Amino acid sequence: MTGTILPVRPTARGLALLIVTLLLLALGGLTGLAAARGVAGLLLVALALCLVCTALALVGLRLRRAVRDEAVSAPGLARVDLELAPGALVRHLPLARGVVHCELPDDLGGPGDLPLAPAMGHHLPVARRGVHPLGRVETRVRDVLGLFEARRAQDLPGSVIGLPVIDEVDADLVRRAGLDRRGTPHGAVASGLGEIGPLARPYVEGDDLRRVHWRASAKVGTLMTREDEPAVSQTAVVIIDGRRRGALDLPTEDRLVAIAASLWSLLRSRGWAVRVLDARGDEIVHAAAESDPLIPGAEPLIDTRAATSVIARETDAIEVREALVSLARFDFTRDGGHERRSAGGVTTGDVALAIVVAPDDAGPGESGHRAADRELTGHGGVAPVGGWGRVVDLEGLCGRAGRRLALLVSGRADASAERLGSWVFVHTSRRASVADALEAAAEEAS
């Protein structure tokens, strides 16, 4: 914590009074008027007293800041405590009055002033997701007559994290959309957008060369690794496409993260172990299923959540908060590459459900893969354009998921779904809820 003290200086009122005092002294000296000299002397005493009070107000003038709500759902309010240090002389003697100017970012309401007091608790509006440093504060004190001013600037540590908001989704809708672990196919999927086969994935450093799938490698032109079929698939992968290939506004970025957070929460509550990845396959969040997962193949006869121990519930709450903080810190990057990605050991054959959350950045008049000017390619016979093209790039992260869903977010006002191969594409708006998107997916699945 550093601070800078600016010299005591007169205000406009103080300068005016100083000029009047000098004029009265000159008038008294020229005319010999005792009244002029007397008034000038009183004014000089007042100026001196005010100068001394302002200088004394700087003694121990330091602020302390404590962020009470370090992470809140955005939009929301964060409570921050600001107080004068116990050694500040102005805290105990009415030497001066002043304000504290806070250099806050726009996402926390912008710069503002607080009346100087021993305790200055306040609430900050957190407008959007992300980590928002609170910035510098400057204490400005003036004597009681407002003739002199002194300032002390400080760099106080502290930040507020805006968490993505989690949408609530009805359990029946989760089942109808095919996201319930009990109703999701496990293991291999049918060939879809460039699928090679159920027993191959891209080779990553460290794989045993004896497990190279040579026939698949020859087909795609790069090394592929053979995988054994897992006995049980209980892992879901949520992939956030954070590549800024074009104009992507901040509300859309925040909505993409909020959708991913909502999916992470609802899948985990339905018995999935959930991994949230970025477009490079780097892991953002990895969490096992909740401590009271649903029993596969049977409806719970009691509310298992109510029977969960207090320690387990607290552990779940901590895990949820850490996951939301990790998602709040997620940064969208400028990356226009179209190369295939692979998470290697992070996503392998145990993935049974894959969901891609991406911007639907198709051009005017285009909708998913139904662009009028599409070309024939090796990806299912159509060119990867718009949000669908993003999904093609990320397909290597999906393992052998038996259920694949892509949520493509744009400025459209409604939610619509279409199927292509093993994928269900849902085109939705950032203003629509996750429930609206899953409703469209459920209608397409039926």
Domain residue spans of the chain: 1-163, 171-445
143 pLDDT above the threshold of 90: yes
Residue 221, C-beta contacts closer than 8 angstroms, at least 6 positions apart: none
Is the CB of residue 88 less than 8 Å from the CB of residue 152?
A: no
pLDDT at position 371 over 70: no
Angle at 276 between CA 275 and CA 277, to 5 degrees: 115
pLDDT at 286: 82
Report the predicted TM-score, pTM, of the whole model to 2 decimal places.
0.74
Predicted local distance difference test score (pLDDT) of residue 30: 87
**Of 381, 376, 379, 384, nearest to 245 (Cα)?**
384
Considering only residues 224 and 241, tell me which one the structure prediction assigns the higher pLDDT. 241
Q: What gap in Å lies between CA 52 and CA 12, rounded to an integer? A: 18
Residue 35 host element (H or E) = helix 34-57
What is the reported pLDDT for 304?
Answer: 44
pLDDT band at 222 (very low <50, low <70, confident <90, very high): confident
